[in-house]
Structure 1
Amino acid sequence: MSNITRVGVDLAKNLIQVHAVDLAGKVITNRAMKRENFLQWCAQLPAGCLVAMEACTGAHHWCRQLRERGLDARMIAAQFVAPYRTQGKSGKNDANDAAAVCEAASRPHMNFVPPKTIAQQGMLCVHRLREGLKEERVACINRIRGLLAEFGVVLPQSPEVLRQHLSDLIEDAGNDIASMARLVLQRAQEHWQELDEHLKWCDQRIAAHQKDDEQVQRAAELKGIGPVTASAVVATVGDFKQFKNAAQFGAWLGLTPRQHSSGGKTSLGSITKRGGTYLRTLLIQGAKSVVLRGLNAQDDAITQWVQRLRERSGWQKAVVALANKNARILWAVMTKGERFDVHHISVNPSAAMPTGA
């Protein structure tokens, strides 16, 4: 154990596979162990030993536990591990995955995922619950509409219209709705109301996060970024300085164009859509609200830029461009510790340099 310098770990619910090598890259052990024995085995590793794992469910927990024990625990995104599996797609198993993680961790330019704190993960649980409740509410509304349509009752496609008329439809004895169907619709209506209460609770937790966290307050000052987006960004990213510049942060969110360039000819396509879908969706939805409804009677530089872009390229491209700009502004605001200034005019550093510099 004293000769081990690097360990690749493949996490699972009950069994954990480890692949350990020495300084020369020689395999010391490649074995599976039960979950409850993993920390005991890691305690025998030399201090500062690199222990790498894929960024998956439970990885942040294990990373914190190992760092508390003096080990250099790191996480790697799954898409960066797959190319180092020498057996290819046909040879995927726990042992080969652990070996691939170990090999990927040895690369000098590998991008590692910073572990989240317990507070970050707790806030992200609220966001995940909220998204799940939203899906359940949409399913519940569609279920009610389907049941009503079976009896010839069709209402406009608006949850508020359905909410307004549903009680009257259940109580109206003049329609053709069966008595058993009325009981079912009443129970579905109660379920809808219960989901609304759960969503209200989630929104209260997010509002409290904004009230208590100064970073969330600064993020919410941007155009197209509300409390939900600000809370989600801060809880997900944590330390914005892990990105060396704003362009890297935008690329991490998947908001930069896809490239297929060769021979000095640059070819750009649609956005890459890499990274987390949730953050990117929130940023684009917030930008859409600004582009489609929030450009009237505003004369700041960002609004004027969005208006010109919308007229030139259409509102869809303007939405994505504003989302990418918001991501870059977020990085600048968070790393510099400043408040957002809507009238700020950025200066190109090369243009500001004196002649001959």
Structure 2
Amino acid sequence: MTARETALQGMDRTTAFDLYMSMELGDKSWKLTFGNGSQRPSRCTVAAGDEAAVLERIGKAKVCFGLSAAAAVHSCYEAGRDGWWLHRRLREHGVDNIVVDSASIEVNRRARRAKTDRLDGDKLLCMLQRWHAGETRVWSVVPEPTVQQEDDRRLHRELQRLSGERTSHTNRIGSLLMLHNLRVPHVGGRDWSRWWGSHHEQVPPALRSEIEREYARLVLVKQQIRELQAVQSKQVSDNEQPQVAQLARLRAIGIPTAWVLVKELFGWRHFANQRQVAGCLGLVPSPYASGDIQIEQGISKAGNKRARTLFVELAWSWLRYQPDSDLSQWFKRRFGSGGKRMRRIGIIALARRLAVALWRYTEHGEIPAGASLKPAV
């Protein structure tokens, strides 16, 4: 018997402990690992998606560890394809569940390390117990969106996927045409039908059919993009998206950009200061200092990738459309005389400052210093 078990002998363990559960979620099965902080963990497997089996196993685990039926249950799983439905179901049944960022989970730094679902479950269980013991920095807990906030992300994310498909179809058609030295400036553009009508005879029948099928898919994708963009514009014009309309008033920011920033960042995340804004985007420095070695590793890139990428693109547009703003003037003084490398470094710094300025604008209505608004329509 260990020293901890000896110290706990004779205590009423039905009220002294809570039940802890970690879940490894797979496509076909879920691996559950239970513990109470003093005894060896207990493991079991249930079919993926079987929430009734999970609740049944929780009840059996309480009996196994000698806990009362009213004992609190704390659980966790890594953010992934299952999303938030399981988190909400567990909360409905009184389980204190959290969803953790898998990239924030500490791992062994050995050259080779054993990795199995069992070891992962044990690791999650140990870290869950440490987190509830007060080690809040042991990992990053993903903030929970509401069902409506989660659903609001679907439109712009689908638009991004469709834009990628449009580029893929366009590039594919252009590559097929080059097999016969046929080059068109804009595949699928306004002059495509006329150009294809005068050149399709130069292409063999099988390749011609493939190009026409590829073009049909391109037409469908472009139609769906127009439909989704129309939905965005209508909601903004009908004043259903006030934050999007507020951001879109600034020059250099259009409705699609404002939509993504609101739905991914400003519309549901609450920040206490500018450091939290930059940290959420992964636009914070990551220094490496050990002894006499001091290296700057660049930004962490640990935040929302969609919003971070968009802010970098927006920073370049800001320089073009808001040249008289304080942010643009700061960039010109600090990096304007440097080469390409310095400007690329500087644009990241500008993106971070711009993110903070837009957060203050959406949160408190403070227009970025020197920035101009679009004329009222």
Q: What TM-score do you get using the length of structure 1 for normalisation?
A: 0.80
Query: Which ranges in structure 2 are unaligned for 5 or more consecutive residues?
Result: 1-12, 63-69, 372-377
Aligned partner of 1:286: which letter?
Answer: L
- The count of corresponding residues between Structure 1 and Structure 2 is 334
Which one of the candidate residues 18, 22, 25 is aligned to 1:11?
25
Q: Which residue of structure 1 lines up, in the alignment, with residue 278 of structure 2? A: 250
- In the alignment, is the contact (CA less than 8 A) between 2:78 and 2:100 conserved in 1? yes
CA distance in 2, matches of 1:102, 1:31: 14
Q: Which residue of structure 2 lines up, in the alignment, with residue 352 of structure 1? A: none
Render the CA deviation track for 1:21-65: whole Å, top value 9, x for unaligned.
11x342352211123144433774746422111111114221111
1:173 to 1:318, Cα distance in 2 relative to 1, 3 A: closer
Which one of the candidate residues 80, 84, 95 is aligned to 1:71?
95
- Alignment of 1:284 with 2:303, yes or no, is no
1:268 to 1:300, Cα distance in 2 relative to 1, 3 A: same
Q: Which residue of structure 2 lines up, in the alignment, with residue 350 of structure 1? A: none
Aligned partner of 1:99: which letter?
Answer: D
1:37-186 aligned within 5 A = 37-41=52-56, 44=59, 46=70, 48-83=72-107, 90-105=113-128, 106-107=130-131, 108-110=135-137, 111-156=140-185, 158=186, 163-172=189-198, 176-186=202-212
Alpha-carbon deviation of 1:124? 2.3
Work out the percentage of aligned pairs sharing the same amino acid.
21
Query: Which ranges in structure 1 are unaligned for 5 or more consecutive residues?
Result: 346-357
Aligned partner of 1:170: which letter?
Answer: W
**Aligned Cα RMSD in Å?**
3.2
- Alignment of 1:33 with 2:60, yes or no, is no
1:109 to 1:33, Cα distance in 2 relative to 1, 3 A: same
Q: What TM-score do you get using the length of structure 2 for normalisation?
A: 0.76
Render the CA deviation track for 1:314-335: whole Å, top value 9, x for unaligned.
432332222211222344345x
Which one of the candidate residues 238, 263, 283 is aligned to 1:235?
263
Q: Which residue of structure 2 lines up, in the alignment, with residue 192 of structure 1? A: 218
Q: Which residue of structure 2 lines up, in the alignment, with residue 268 of structure 1? A: 296
- In the alignment, is the contact (CA less than 8 A) between 1:245 and 1:331 conserved in 2? no
CA distance in 2, matches of 1:329, 1:257: 19
Q: Which residue of structure 1 lines up, in the alignment, with residue 328 of structure 2? A: 303
Secondary structure of 1:58 counterpart: coil
Alpha-carbon deviation of 1:226? 3.5
Q: Which residue of structure 1 lines up, in the alignment, with residue 6 of structure 2? A: none
Alpha-carbon deviation of 1:88? 9.2
CA distance in 1, matches of 2:77, 2:318: 40
1:262 to 1:33, Cα distance in 2 relative to 1, 3 A: same
- In the alignment, is the contact (CA less than 8 A) between 1:240 and 1:331 conserved in 2? no
Render the CA deviation track for 1:92-124: whole Å, top value 9, x for unaligned.
222221221122222322331112222222222
CA distance in 2, matches of 1:289, 1:271: 21
Secondary structure of 1:260 counterpart: strand
1:147 to 1:174, Cα distance in 2 relative to 1, 3 A: closer
CA distance in 1, matches of 2:356, 2:277: 7
Q: Mean alpha-carbon deviation: is it higher for 88-97 or for 72-81?
A: 88-97
Alpha-carbon deviation of 1:341? 0.9
Of structures 1 and 2, the larger Rg is shown by 2
- In the alignment, is the contact (CA less than 8 A) between 1:43 and 1:69 conserved in 2? no
1:331 to 1:152, Cα distance in 2 relative to 1, 3 A: same
